[in-house]
Amino acid sequence: MPAEAKRPRVIIVGAGFGGITAARALAGHGLDILLIDRTNHHLFQPLLYQTATAALAPSDIASPIRVILRRDRETTVIMGDVTGVDAARRVVAVKDTGEFGYDYLILATGADYSWFGHDEWARYATSLKTLDDAGTIRRRLLSAFEWAESLNEPKEIARLLTFIVVGGGPTGVELSGSIAELARSTLARDFRRIRPGAARIVLCEAGPRLLAAFPPRLSDYTARALASLGVEVRLGAAVEHIDARGVSVAGQRIESANVFWCAGTEARPAAAWIGVDAAHNGAVKVRPDCSVPGHDEIFALGDVASLADRDGKLLPGLAAVAVQHGRYVAKVILCRVAGRPPPPPFRYRNLGTLAVIGRSRAVADFGRLQLRGFPAWLLWSLVHLFLLAGYRNRMVVYLNWSWAWFTYGRGARLITGASHGAEPTTAA
């Protein structure tokens, strides 16, 4: 009997929105699919700020990759750290594991925050990209109030209760608004020696307005809504220095024990792995079919791909872009395997952009239709509930949001592990 033909192998690096979507779309078509990620879970990043501010537990916004892909019998999941790609030999190297050969490779590694040439600032400021980051921010936030309650020195109490958020994009807006609500609502009645509502939240944006990707009208509304929550919004305020005692921004010194970095992103080093040209943010420059020039069998998608839309503008780093990329790349690969003509070039369908500011406040941009306030917040809530992976997560998040709506409470306020920098320190 003739030997069974070897099934084409597709390796997907990264289990974010794009990677998971591609894996699901490829399943059931006679391929050998290998999904590699540094963690064992798929993270719903749009709600990460709520874990950081004690509104949701980590398990509410993350699901095990193996559970998501349990029914896809052709898919194997490997938890490992990819260290490089040998495009000539068509193998992916995984740290402490070995090499895996591929026929097609999908790079969906996502992005990290950019420190704009000041990597030393990462020692003193916390970014928000992973569950570990969210846990660190939650510890620092809650520990700051606890330590402040135990002190007698007004200047040190003020430093502990000053929270600086750098970056006026969606994450910075969401995080600063949520910190303000945590301080002024959730914690307001829980302390005796300090007034949590007197906490100072400063949002620093180097540009002329918040949410630069939104229309100016919605940016202005966002600034006013944050101000009504007690957030100090500083526009045209570039950070010049960060150290253990605070920041220097736009020529002014602000003493703070907690600096949270939400400014700028850069792609993870996929371009360096395969030795190809990268955009200014490190993303891989791809063809209209998301393949890498010179490597027809390699694709990049989501935040790690640099691709322009019909108007010549680079596609934004949004979950919707990664999802549409994932579906499209899967279609391209399936056409190649089946010997069918390729699909038309990728075309992003903009379904709108949403950003939440706080309780009952959000903005939504659908082109001609723009929403703000409660209608935008309600739409934001419904969309994010729908996009969460798994019925359990949707139900738990819905119940948590409902409880928080009526009680202003937050159910994930336990401090575990070291507080890492929220403790009072003495100036040198």
From 338, 355, 378, the end of a domain falls on 338
Q: Could you report the per-residue pLDDT of 182-204, keeping only the tens digit for each? A: 999 999 889 999 999 999 999 99
Number of helices and strands in the chain (H, E):
12, 26
Whether 151 and 244 share a structural domain:
yes
Whether 242 and 277 share a structural domain:
no
**Among residues 21, 106, 114, which one has the least CA distance to residue 289?**
106
Task: Give the pLDDT score at 5.
Answer: 64
Residue 426 in this model has a pLDDT that exceeds 50: no
From 303, 338, 373, the end of a domain falls on 338
Bigger pLDDT: 424 vs 308: 308
> Is 397 inside any structural domain?
no
Angle at Cα 428 formed by Cα 240 and Cα 132, nearest 5°? Answer: 60
> Is 256 inside any structural domain?
yes
> Is 253 inside any structural domain?
yes
Ramachandran sector of residue 251 (left: φ over 0; alpha: ψ -120 to 50; beta: rest): left
What percentage of the chain reaches a pLDDT higher than 90?
Answer: 76
Domain with 23 in it: what CATH number? 3.50.50.60
Whether 108 and 141 share a structural domain:
no
Whether 85 and 95 share a structural domain:
yes
From 278, 305, 338, the end of a domain falls on 338
Q: Could you report the per-residue pLDDT of 214-238, keeping only the tens digit for each? A: 999 999 999 999 999 999 999 999 9
> Is 400 inside any structural domain?
no
Whether 308 and 195 share a structural domain:
no
Whether 128 and 243 share a structural domain:
yes
Q: Could you report the per-residue pLDDT of 48-66, keeping only the tens digit for each? A: 999 999 999 999 999 999 9
Task: Give the pLDDT score at 3.
Answer: 47
Average pLDDT for residues 364-385, to the nearest whole number?
93
Bigger pLDDT: 337 vs 421: 337
13 burial (CB, 10 Å; 0-12 / 13-18 / 19+) is buried
Task: Give the pLDDT score at 428.
Answer: 36
> Is 51 inside any structural domain?
no
Residue 423 in this model has a pLDDT that exceeds 60: no
Rounded CA-CA distance 312/132 in Å is 36
Whether 126 and 165 share a structural domain:
yes
Task: For residue 305, give the H/E element and its range.
Answer: strand 305-306
Contact 407, 399 (CB under 8 A): no
Whether 85 and 128 share a structural domain:
no
Whether 257 and 141 share a structural domain:
yes
Active site residue 174: yes
**Domain of 302, in residue numbers:** 9-38+80-113+265-338
Among 174, 181, 205, 266, which one carries the catalytic annotation? 174
> Is 399 inside any structural domain?
no
**Cα(first)–Cα(last) distance of the chain, in Å?**
80
Q: Please, what is the average pLDDT of the chain?
A: 91
> Is 404 inside any structural domain?
no
> Is 290 inside any structural domain?
yes
Number of domains in the chain: 2
